[in-house]
Structure 1
Amino acid sequence: MPEPKADRPTSPRRLEGALFQSIGDAGRAELVERRLADAITGGLLRAGERLPSESDLARTFGVAPATVRESLLGLRARGLVVTRRGRNGGSFVAEGADPLSHALESLRNSSRLALRDLGAHYAAITAACVRLAARRAVPTEVEQLRTRFERLDEADLEQWRRTLDDVQIELVALSQSARLTREQMRLQAEISPLLRLVDTVAEYRGAQRALLLAVIDAVERGDAAGAVEATEQMVDAVIDALIEMQSRPA
């Protein structure tokens, strides 16, 4: 896994675990390149951050070192990774690899139908998870989530997004369904770059905070229907915000 920075948690995040899974023989260099590109453009690997060694990446992804080498060539050609020689050398995320720019490009290349479809899928999985969480969660677990969430500082957008992603994953993990939680992790990794765009608008951040807190409240009360309703409202608000942002002049 990537070396920790001073301001980066030393334990791997759940979302990073979803991205850094074994690929096996089927995907080869293209899938390794895509997985690493997703981690960079999604903000999980930040500008200037050193990537694991080729041998470590090969073991993590379950591929040959030559496959990793080929994928890194592709990433360098795309301007996402730079390689430095010498004792402190290695592959690093390029300084110009701005997650917001990539997310904005992705948003502009998406149709409204595709965004609505993504929202419908995300809402369906998340709603299924929180419905079970409302029935199965231990109150002390929900309270820990609430405490972490309420201490969150909106001023630090990087930490804001990372924490919201983690809280969302931990909330659905209270469903005690490993399958649903894995799917939620995959979807969270897919939608998180777009959520970073929403985070840049204070009004949208405030709405996200209020709606996610409503989900947490419902789960804590054991109100499955309320948790589902709040989840659907939260997802609708996000998709509406993305469509509004998409309609703005470039």
Structure 2
Amino acid sequence: MRLYIVVCTFSVLFATHIANAQALPSHTPNAHNDESAHSRNDQTDNNDKSDKSSIHNSKSSISNGENADATPNRSRSSVQYRRAQIDQRRKRTIENREFSDKEKITLLLNAHCDFPTKEDLLQTSVNAEAHLLEIIEDENILLSVRMRAVQALSYFSTPTNRQTLENILAHPNDVEHTLMLIQAIRAYTIIAPDAAPKAVEPFLSSDSDFIRFVTINSLKNCPGNAALQVLQNRYENESNRFFKMRLKQAIDNHCKSNTYCN
């Protein structure tokens, strides 16, 4: 009887194990297939997102590249436009408001775009020349404006203007800025072509390359044999190859327009 009970119990356990073993394979592959399909769908979605992101980034890069190329041009044109507007407002301000003639000349010299012509100055004030001298001496006015006033003296070849420029050239160490001296060299060779070569000759050996360069160019455009003689003398003693070449060019320019040339 006991043996019968043991055998029955063993048979039931064995049958249960067989049933469980058969049931497991039927579910496992489906679960695996579902997971694989889900993984493939996720990968496809990720690839689609990656492709869309790449396309978006490429378009953004192209767009940014085009904007980068266009920005400098827009920036430059906008700066020029703003400066032109400022100059126009300044001119309208001069016309519509009450200013002294000296103040009007100062505003014209402070324009960004164009340097005023002789006609502009005389239309602003019949005493423009006198106001230019006042501006040069006025230390409360911007140095850049005073330098432009020195440059504007080249419009008026008068003894007073010549004396003012000669004083600047005779005392270069007292000049506030190199550009003030440079404008005086340029203006003096224009209004005093006979006396200027001797007055500016010392600047051909200046420690400043900029001053030497400007002096050579000013004498190049200065008519008369006096300027040519100064250039030739300096050419013989010049050791710097660059300035020797510039002197030769200035001499050749004189020889084309003058009958006197050694």
Name the TM-score class by shorter chain: under 0.3
Please identify which structure carries the higher helix content. Answer: 2
Structure scoring higher RCO (CA < 8 A, sep ≥ 6) equals 1
Larger Rg: 2
Calculate the TM-score normalised by the size of structure 1.
0.24
